Amino acid sequence: MLKNKLYQAFKKITSGVLDSRPALQCLHLDPDMSMTATDSYRMLRIENVVPDKALKEPLNLRLDTFTFQNDVNYPDVSKLVPSEFKETVTLNAEVIRVFRQFLKLPKSYIDFDSSGQDNCEILIEYNGITISRGKLLAQKIAVELDIATPIKVNLNPIFLADGLEFIYEFLNGYTSRSEFQLGFNGKLQPIVLTAVNGDKQVANYLITPTRTF
C-alpha cells in the first residue's frame, strides 16, 4: 500500500480528535511493529510493519505537524481487537466496490426516519448482505454465507465507508489476497474488518456501533 494512502487513512481518524485529547491526535508507533490511530469511535491498527529504523520505545507522531508528542500517554489499545468472534464472515473485495459509493451518497438523497440520525444498518444473512440508509434506500449483494443466525448492526456510514475504502486500498494489487473478514460479537459490540496483504501485514479496522432510539 502506498505510504500517502496509509497516511490519509490514519489522518482521517486523528484529524477529528479534540485538543483536550492530545494523545489521540497522534499516530502511535510501537516497538512490536504496529501502528495505531483511534478517536475512541473507530480504530485502525496495522501489524507487522517493518520500520526504516527499529524502535526501542513507543512513539506518538502528530500527523498534522509531523512532530513527536512523547509527553502524552497513549492508551493501551493492544486488547481492543478481540481474539475471537461469535460470528465471522469472509468476503471478497468486490463487496467493497459495490457498497462504498452507496455509503457516500449525500444526505439530500436520504429519507431519514423520525430520529433524524444518519446511520446505516448492516444485515447479514445466509443468502446475502444488505446495507440500508434511512427509510427507503437499501443495497443488497447476493452471496452464500456460512452463518448460524442473521447479524444486524447499526454503524456510522462515513466510518464504514472509510473502513471499507481502506481495506480495498490495503488489498489492491494483491490478487491472491482479495478477501477480508468481518468479525461480530453482538449488535452493541464493535465490528472489526480484518485483512492480510501480500506483505503479510495485518490490518484491523474497528468500528463502534451507533445506538438507535
Residue 80 belongs to some domain of the structure: no
| CA 134 – CA 1 distance, rounded (Å) | 34
Do 100 and 196 fall within a single domain? yes
Would 58 be classed as within a structural domain?
A: yes
Same domain, 181 and 96: yes
pTM of the model: 0.91
Does residue 213 form part of some domain? no
CATH of the domain at 171: 3.10.150.10
CB-count burial class (<10 Å; 0-12, 13-18, 19+) for 182 = buried
Say whether both 122 and 53 belong to one domain: no
Domain-embedded: residue 79: no
Short-list 97, 124, 91, CA closest to 193: 91
Report the greatest alpha carbon distance in the chain. 54
Q: What whole-number distance in Å separates Cα of residue 167 and Cα of residue 108? A: 27
Q: Is residue 81 included in any domain, yes or no?
A: no
State how far the Cα of 164 lies from the Cα of 128, in Å rounded to an integer: 17
CB atoms within 10 A of CB 112: 14
Let me know: does 26 contact 60? Beta carbons within 8 Å: yes
Q: How many CB atoms lie within 10 A of CB 171?
A: 23
Residue 82 lies in a domain: no
Q: Please measure the distance between the N-terminal and C-terminal CA atoms of the chain and give it in whole angstroms.
A: 39
pLDDT per residue as tens digits for the range 152-198: 999 999 999 999 999 988 887 554 557 899 999 998 999 999 998 87
Tell me, yes or no, whether 175 lies in a domain.
Answer: yes
- 11, 37, 68 — which closes off a domain? 68
Predicted local distance difference test score (pLDDT) of residue 113 = 62
Regarding whether 195 and 140 lie in a shared domain, the answer is yes
Same domain, 61 and 103: no
Q: What amino acid occupies position 96?
A: I
Tens digits of per-residue pLDDT, 85-117?
Answer: 999 999 888 888 888 878 887 777 776 666 666
Number of domains within the chain: 2
Residues 135 and 39 in one domain: no
Q: Which domain holds residue 200?
A: 87-207
